[in-house]
Structure 1
Amino acid sequence: MRFLTRRLVMPNDLNYAHSLFGGRLLQWIDEEAAIYAICQLETNCLVTKHIGAITFESPAMQGDIVEFGLATKAVGKTSITVSCLVRNKATKKSICLADDIVFVKLDPSSRLPVAHGKTLESLAEQTAQAFAENGI
């Protein structure tokens, strides 16, 4: 799993207990996972179909930097399934795991599912090539 993005927990992100509000974290997860899926499938016409198990493991507090690790779990004809691990940047302690986040590619005109033409293997090659080109 590669940790690709980070966010700073700000006062507006907190709940009554002064820790990161779970709803805000879920919003961030959906956004980060969508960006990841868009980059993987090379299309921005995707919708979130399903988010499976969500496990909150530890709190994030104001001032913490949280980072998002994303990985492709499965690829279907019209869909991609992603897993997202959120952890504290400084301590590496796991904050939340959102598993089985499914995105579906849609035809922009009909808004119906359409094949994306990718496989798990082709996405692995695409990612490896992108990292090699960028010296990562």
Structure 2
Amino acid sequence: MQVGKAAMLLALTSNRQEEVEIKTYLKERYNYDTVVTEVGGVLRDIKGRVVKSVVSAAINAGILEKKSNHIHPLIHATLEAERGMMFDLPTQSSIVMKVAIVVGDKWLAVAMYGESAIHVLSNHERAGLGIMHL
């Protein structure tokens, strides 16, 4: 399984039990390192926090090192996933998303899945995916 598909599968989990099962499977079957974080709030307020949250999650989980050749591709993959997740979304929209990071030998992927709405009656799903070479 490629890292992008693995990251999206992990981001699509509905609860912690599913998350743990997928993480275990990805580690045992593909030796992928993984971490999941969640980000939510009003778009104009969280836009700058997403990259920081993803980088912090990856470093704190020990799946990437605090080195430019690890952080640089992670930031680019995060920005790519963010573009898909937040495309054409008004700044006053509320958004909540699960972000999965999967690291393989040569590639990493950041997948985002969640919901957005300007009003509670306009809630709908969104997703984004970014993949970069390490």
For CA contacts below 8 A with separation 6 or more, give which structure has more relative contact order: 2
Query: Of the two, which has the highest radius of gyration?
Result: 1
TM-score, normalised to structure 2, is 0.44
Report which of the two has the higher share of helix.
2
TM-score normalised by L of structure 1: 0.44
